[in-house]
Structures are given as C-alpha cells and as structure tokens.
C-alpha cells in the first residue's frame, strides 16, 4: 500500500483505545506513518474523555478493556461526532458482539491480531463496501482454539464445566488446553 496515496480528508485525527500498551504504541506509530494524527487512551474512561472533549474523525477501539466495555467509547463518540469512522477490535471474535458494535455505530469489526494495514483498510473503506480480506487471517484451528479459551475463561477455568458447555469429553479438552495455541 502506498502510504502517500491515502486520502484521509481534512481532519486526520485518530483515537486509539486499547489497554495492551505495547500493541497500542506499535499501532500508533504505524498509523502516524500513514498520516494520521494519533491520540492514545488505555481505558474506557480515558477514551470517553477524549471522545467527548476532542471527538476524532477516526477511532480504533478495543472491545474488552480493564475498566469496562469499548462499546461505551463508541457510543460517546457517536453522540459527539456521528460521521466519525470507528473500527472495533477484539481478541474474542463473537458474532453477537460484532452485531452490537455495528448497531451502535462501528464502521467495521476486526479480530485481533489485526495489523495497521487491516485497520487502515477498514477505516477508509467506502460505505456499503467490504474491505479486502486480511492478508493473514486466523487459521480455522486458531479460531477453534480461541473459542475454547474464551469459554474456558468464562467458566472460571473450570475444565468440567467448560467441557460440558462445549459438548466435549473432559480429557479431550484437557489435552487441547495443555497444548500451545496454533498459528
């Protein structure tokens, strides 16, 4: 992608909200190289404060933050600047959450790990068009593993309860949990 060719418009302000500080800094640096004027927030509270005081033209908001739900930041931003383009990021690719994010006003929804190119494509996609597919989407094995991990966490790391909810034998689940994540 030619970095000079990006048409960001008059207002190039971009709010990044994520509690993973290393990811936040990497994404901020990459987005600045693409011409965005980046402001960072590490929490729902900080994101809402910026969205209210200086609503940006663009925003990338992580769904699950330590102090709450990123959709609260999306709602605040939508209320202050309805035309802003917002991408919601999450490590938990749940369809129900994607629907909620879009209903509230997110422009797009990306599963982590998303790189700066994926984010830029989603932010700049024309309305009613789909951005190009990601260069390196998660494998089916990785998606399955992520789902199992999510259910395991939601069951407070109770193997028996997780196995029951996934309709899976407990020993099979234990073997899966003992392995490292697939690529």
Cα angle 116, 35, 47; round to 5: 65
Residue 70 DSSP one-character state = T
Q: Please list the pLDDT of the chain residue by residue as tens digits (183 residues).
A: 444 446 777 899 999 999 889 989 999 999 999 999 999 999 999 999 999 999 999 999 988 888 988 889 999 999 999 999 999 987 765 666 777 778 888 888 887 778 888 889 888 887 666 666 667 777 788 778 878 887 887 888 899 999 999 999 999 999 988 887 776
Helices (H), the chain: 21-33, 44-53, 71-80, 95-104, 116-124, 140-154, 159-165, 170-178
Choose among 73, 35, 133: nearest CA to 14. Answer: 35
Nearest to 158 by CA among 167, 175, 141, 170: 170
- Check if the beta carbon of residue 84 is closer than 8 Å to that of residue 55: yes
Q: Which pTM does this prediction carry? A: 0.69
């Amino acid at each position: 992608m030619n970095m000079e060719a990006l048409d960001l418009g008059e207002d190039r302000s971009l709010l990044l909200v994520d509690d993973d500080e290393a990811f936040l800094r990497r994404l901020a640096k990459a987005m600045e190289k693409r011409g965005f004027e980046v402001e960072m927030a590490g929490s729902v509270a900080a994101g809402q404060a910026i969205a209210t005081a200086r609503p940006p033209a663009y925003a990338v908001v992580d769904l699950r933050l330590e102090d709450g739900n990123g959709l609260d930041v999306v709602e605040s931003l939508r209320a202050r600047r309805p035309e802003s383009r917002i991408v919601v990021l999450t490590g938990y690719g749940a369809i129900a959450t994607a629907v909620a994010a879009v209903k509230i006003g997110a422009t797009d929804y990306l599963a982590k790990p998303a790189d700066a190119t994926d984010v830029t494509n989603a932010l700049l996609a024309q309305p009613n068009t789909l951005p190009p597919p990601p260069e390196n989407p998660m494998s089916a094995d990785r998606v399955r593993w992520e789902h199992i991990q999510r259910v395991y966490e939601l069951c407070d790391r109770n193997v028996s309860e997780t196995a029951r909810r996934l309709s899976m034998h407990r020993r099979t689940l234990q073997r899966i949990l003992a392995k490292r994540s697939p690529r």
